[in-house]
């Protein structure tokens, strides 16, 4: 046993970073579950598509990154609504199997189409939070190797602060700066903070949309009692389309936030993330938006601290790293067995 | 006939292969309270659902002279039909306040919050619980909320499906007093489906008895009350 506590904070930060991504994707799952009580297995692939839109607009077309993300989110919203209208609404909402099969089919189709268009190589994307060159401490020195593939940054005392590899582009070397600052001896990456802020803003936006707008009120009404919602004049179909659109927006946000950490975008980027997000949603309660976020953070922590830190570092068992996904399935199993409604989900109570 | 709020002719309705309504004819005059009596499964609930186009129907449903049998539910609500479904139909995960707001979903005017205050005055218990989730209210409070929510769309025709179900006798009496008061003070037309025939006939102007999806008997409420067949079947006499 090697209780290496010095590096524990690093694992905690990483876990909470990944967890924020799982939480964002879990939000997309929960939004659709709340509205239709079904799991949309295409959530991850719709999000992957959104991440590719960001890639196309930003990297290929040279648009400003944040504008690319905003446009990709808007396009995803339209796609989500169209999918709901064309592939989900024609089916009986009380018969879940056909619709679940459709979302599974959609999962495969989107993955294959994306693979056909962009192939399965990882394509580098720009990191919205990666480098802050203007924050390079005074007196520090940037050095690049002669072929430009390695850049390093030293502070005034000559200590190495950051090394960046694979930056073959000379311009990229110019951009190298610190990608983190130190908190209790651990590296807290700007990217991590950026992901947290992204999730927080998404939650605030969601709270405003659902809590303060008429469309949001209609959405909550349909998910609470669809029949009564119809009886007060709510167009339930259009409201569900709105839910799918919202879900796609959050999926795309999650994918856009995580893609730099994955090294770029590729059609399979969301496969494992969807599994973790499912575990997060099951843990938090499939119909609880707050639960999805907390579930995401917990899953990220379990994966990073319990499996990677405790399993691999403390116990010294390298094979633990391949158990991360199995852990997610185990978690889903345990939750469904002992607390089917999750930590914050609604336990159905009938009152007459 | 402009004084007829609702005129239904030859109304059929089915769920899949089962025909539930087999040619109903009935009328609801403007400003009246009309009650529908009948045993479980006779088709009372289906009748109300058919009026709001919540099930497959044939026949004509005229509201103030216009055929609404093919209209969308939302358009029927916009015309002024409010439906309090069986089992109250509140939104348990929404606060009392949000339940009332969603009741005004089809309205576009600025007087929604004034109406909320108005119904809070009439149902003070709801105001005390305005931020509580509807699912946490008692049965009687939920029924009040369901009625207040229905009134939020400023209906001219209120459809009430067994409002007394599962409530204590004192609460039922209180509720029916409020219905009668509403009808008297605002002229609100009501179509009431009830098992509690005594109370319903006391309040109603006219009544219909449904048996197996057909009108078996109809007449002024006073007359039905004294009808031996009705007394035996529904009044426990």
Shortest alpha-carbon distance between residue B222 and chain A (Å): 32
pLDDT of residue A321: 79
Shortest alpha-carbon distance between residue B176 and chain A (Å): 19
Interface check for A234 against chain B (CB to CB < 8 A): the answer is: yes
CB contact under 8 A, B93 and A233: no
Residues of B in contact with A351 (CB under 8 A): 135, 139, 142
Per-residue pLDDT reduced to its tens digit, A294-317: 999 999 999 999 888 888 888 888
Using the 8-state DSSP alphabet, how is residue A331 labeled? Answer: H
Interface check for B15 against chain A (CB to CB < 8 A): the answer is: no
Residue pairs spanning A and B at CB distance below 8 A: 71
Interface check for B165 against chain A (CB to CB < 8 A): the answer is: yes
CB contact under 8 A, B54 and A230: yes
Using the 8-state DSSP alphabet, how is residue A274 labeled? Answer: H
pLDDT(A290) > 60? yes
Interface check for A85 against chain B (CB to CB < 8 A): the answer is: no
Which three-class secondary structure state does DSSP give residue A285?
coil
Percent of chain B with pLDDT over 70: 98
Q: Mutation test of the interface with chain A: which of B72, B105, B131, B132, choosing the one with the most A Cβ atoms within 10 A?
A: B105
Q: Residue A340 — very low, low, confident or very high, per pLDDT cuts 50/70/90?
A: confident
Contact B218, B208 (CB under 8 A): yes
Using the 8-state DSSP alphabet, how is residue A41 labeled? Answer: T
Percent of chain A with pLDDT over 90: 56
Q: Mutation test of the interface with chain B: which of A215, A232, A239, choosing the one with the most B Cβ atoms within 10 A?
A: A232
Q: Mutation test of the interface with chain A: which of B74, B108, B153, B195, choosing the one with the most A Cβ atoms within 10 A?
A: B74
Contact A52, A265 (CB under 8 A): yes
pLDDT of residue A145: 58
Question: Which positions ≥6 away from B213 have C-beta within 8 Å?
Answer: B19, B20, B21, B22, B23, B24, B42, B43, B46
pLDDT of residue A130: 64
Which three-class secondary structure state does DSSP give residue A150?
strand
Q: Residue A87 — very low, low, confident or very high, per pLDDT cuts 50/70/90?
A: very high
- Across the range A32-36, mean pLDDT stands at 88
pLDDT(A285) > 60? yes
pLDDT of residue A189: 82
CA distance A284 to A341: 8
Shortest alpha-carbon distance between residue B33 and chain A (Å): 21
Residues of A in contact with B87 (CB under 8 A): 352
Q: Residue A167 — very low, low, confident or very high, per pLDDT cuts 50/70/90?
A: very low
Shortest alpha-carbon distance between residue A57 and chain B (Å): 39
Per-residue pLDDT reduced to its tens digit, A194-226: 899 999 999 999 999 999 999 999 999 999 999
- The token pair that represents B163 in the structure block: 């409002």
Interface check for A235 against chain B (CB to CB < 8 A): the answer is: yes
The CATH architecture of the domain made up of B1-80+158-237 is 3-Layer(aba) Sandwich (3.40)
Residues of B in contact with A289 (CB under 8 A): none
Interface check for B149 against chain A (CB to CB < 8 A): the answer is: yes
CA distance B76 to B106: 10
Give CA A312 to chain center in angstroms. Answer: 25
pLDDT of residue A171: 44
Per-residue pLDDT reduced to its tens digit, B196-208: 888 899 999 999 9
- Across the range A124-138, mean pLDDT stands at 63
CB contact under 8 A, A233 and B78: yes
Interface check for A218 against chain B (CB to CB < 8 A): the answer is: yes
Interface check for A119 against chain B (CB to CB < 8 A): the answer is: no
Selected residue with higher pLDDT from A333 and A162:
A333
Q: Between A8-36 and A289-301, two packed helices, what is the crossing angle to 10 degrees? A: 150
Q: Are strands B189-193 and B157-161 parallel, antiparallel or unpaired?
A: parallel
Beta strands in B73-205 (DSSP E): 81-84, 157-161, 189-193
Interface check for B52 against chain A (CB to CB < 8 A): the answer is: yes
Q: Residue A184 — very low, low, confident or very high, per pLDDT cuts 50/70/90?
A: confident
ipTM field? 0.90
Lowest mean pLDDT among A19-23, A123-127, B110-114: A123-127
Boundaries of every domain in chain B: 1-80+158-237, 89-154
**Which contacts of A7-12 are long-range, i.e. CB under 8 A and separated by 24 or more positions?**
A7/A186, A7/A309, A7/A313, A8/A186, A8/A305, A8/A309, A9/A183, A9/A184, A9/A185, A9/A186, A10/A186, A10/A187, A11/A304, A11/A305, A11/A308, A11/A309, A11/A313, A12/A186, A12/A301, A12/A304, A12/A305
Per-residue pLDDT reduced to its tens digit, B114-166: 999 999 998 899 999 999 999 999 988 999 999 999 999 999 999 999 998 88
Angle, CA of A100, A104 and A108, to the nearest 5°: 165
pLDDT of residue A92: 83
Q: For chain A, state the CA radius of gyration.
A: 22
- Note the pTM of the prediction, 2 decimals: 0.85
Lowest mean pLDDT among A50-54, A58-62, A302-306, A348-352: A348-352
Boundaries of every domain in chain A: 5-127+190-338, 133-178
CB contact under 8 A, B94 and A220: yes
Q: Mutation test of the interface with chain A: which of B84, B86, B99, B102, choosing the one with the most A Cβ atoms within 10 A?
A: B102
Contact B145, B92 (CB under 8 A): no
CB contact under 8 A, A234 and B102: yes
CA distance A25 to A39: 12
Give CA B53 to chain center in angstroms. Answer: 15
Q: Residue A319 — very low, low, confident or very high, per pLDDT cuts 50/70/90?
A: confident
pLDDT of residue A58: 93
CB contact under 8 A, A232 and B139: no
Tokens 């990220």 map to which residue? Answer: A300
Which three-class secondary structure state does DSSP give residue B55?
coil
Which three-class secondary structure state does DSSP give residue B34?
strand
The CATH architecture of the domain made up of A5-127+190-338 is Orthogonal Bundle (1.10)
Q: Residue A93 — very low, low, confident or very high, per pLDDT cuts 50/70/90?
A: confident
CB contact under 8 A, A233 and B73: yes
Q: Least CA distance to B107: which residue of chain A? A: A233
**H or E stretch including B29?**
strand B18-29
- Which residues, numbered 179 to 218 in chain B, qualify as contacts with chain A under a Cβ-Cβ cut-off of 8 Å? none
CB contact under 8 A, B139 and A225: no
Evaluate the CA torsion angle A157, A161, A167, A172 in order and state its sign. negative
Q: Mutation test of the interface with chain A: which of B91, B109, B133, B155, choosing the one with the most A Cβ atoms within 10 A?
A: B91
- The token pair that represents A64 in the structure block: 């400003």
Ranges of residues in chain B with a pLDDT under 50 are: 1-2
Mean pLDDT of chain B: 91
């Amino acid at each position: 046993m090697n209780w290496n506590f010095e590096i524990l904070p690093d694992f905690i930060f990483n876990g909470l970073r990944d967890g924020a991504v799982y939480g964002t994707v879990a939000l997309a799952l929960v939004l659709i579950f709340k509205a239709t009580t079904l799991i949309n297995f295409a959530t991850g692939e719709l999000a992957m598509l959104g991440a590719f839109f960001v890639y196309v607009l930003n990297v290929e077309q040279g648009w400003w990154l944040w504008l690319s993300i905003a446009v990709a989110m808007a396009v995803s919203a339209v796609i989500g609504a169209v999918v709901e209208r064309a592939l989900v609404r024609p089916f009986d909402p009380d018969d879940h199997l056909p619709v679940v099969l459709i979302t599974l089919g959609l999962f495969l189709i989107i993955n294959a189409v994306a693979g056909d268009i962009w192939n399965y190589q990882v394509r580098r994307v720009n990191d919205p939070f990666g480098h802050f060159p203007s924050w390079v401490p005074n007196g520090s020195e940037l050095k690049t190797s002669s072929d430009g593939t390695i850049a390093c940054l030293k502070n005034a005392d000559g200590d190495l602060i950051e090394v960046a590899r694979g930056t073959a582009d000379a311009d990229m070397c110019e951009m190298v700066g610190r990608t983190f600052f130190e908190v209790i001896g651990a590296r807290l990456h700007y990217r991590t903070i950026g992901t947290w802020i992204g999730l927080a803003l998404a939650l605030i936006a969601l709270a405003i949309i659902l809590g303060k707008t008429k469309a949001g009120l209609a959405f909550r009404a349909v998910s609470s009692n669809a029949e009564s919602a119809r009886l007060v004049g709510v167009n339930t179909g259009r409201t569900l389309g709105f839910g799918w659109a919202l879900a796609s927006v959050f999926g795309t946000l999650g994918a856009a936030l995580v893609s730099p950490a994955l090294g770029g975008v590729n059609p399979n980027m969301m496969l494992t993330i969807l599994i973790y997000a499912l575990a997060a949603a099951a843990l938090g309660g499939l119909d609880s938006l707050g639960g999805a976020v907390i579930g995401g953070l917990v899953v990220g922590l379990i994966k990073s601290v319990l499996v990677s830190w405790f399993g691999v570092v403390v116990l010294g068992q390298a094979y633990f790293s391949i158990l991360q996904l199995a852990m997610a399935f185990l978690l889903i199993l345990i939750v469904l067995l002992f607390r089917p409604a999750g930590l914050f989900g609604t336990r159905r109570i009938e009152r007459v | 006939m402009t004084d007829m709020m609702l005129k239904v002719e030859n109304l059929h309705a089915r769920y899949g292969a089962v025909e539930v309504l087999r040619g109903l004819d009935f009328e609801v005059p403007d400003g009246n309270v009309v009650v529908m009596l009948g045993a479980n499964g006779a088709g009372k609930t289906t009748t109300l659902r058919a009026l709001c186009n919540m099930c497959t129907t044939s026949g004509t449903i005229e509201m103030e002279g216009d055929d609404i049998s093919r209209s969308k539910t939302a358009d029927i609500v916009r015309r002024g039909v409010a439906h309090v479904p069986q089992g109250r139909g509140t939104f348990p995960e929404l606060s009392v306040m949000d339940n009332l707001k969603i009741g005004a979903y089809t309205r576009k005017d600025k007087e929604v919050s004034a109406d909320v205050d108005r119904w809070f005055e009439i149902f003070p218990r709801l105001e005390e619980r305005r931020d509580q989730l509807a699912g946490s209210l008692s049965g009687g409070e939920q029924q009040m909320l369901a009625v207040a929510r229905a009134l939020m769309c400023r209906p001219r025709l209120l459809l009430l499906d067994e409002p007394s179900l599962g409530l204590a006798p004192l609460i039922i009496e209180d509720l029916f007093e409020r219905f009668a008061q509403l009808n008297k003070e605002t002229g609100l037309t009501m179509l009431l489906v009830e098992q509690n025939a005594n109370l319903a006939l006391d309040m109603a102007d006219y009544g219909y008895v449904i048996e197996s999806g057909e009108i078996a008997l109809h007449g002024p409420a006073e007359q039905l009350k004294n009808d031996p067949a009705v007394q035996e079947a529904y009044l426990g006499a």
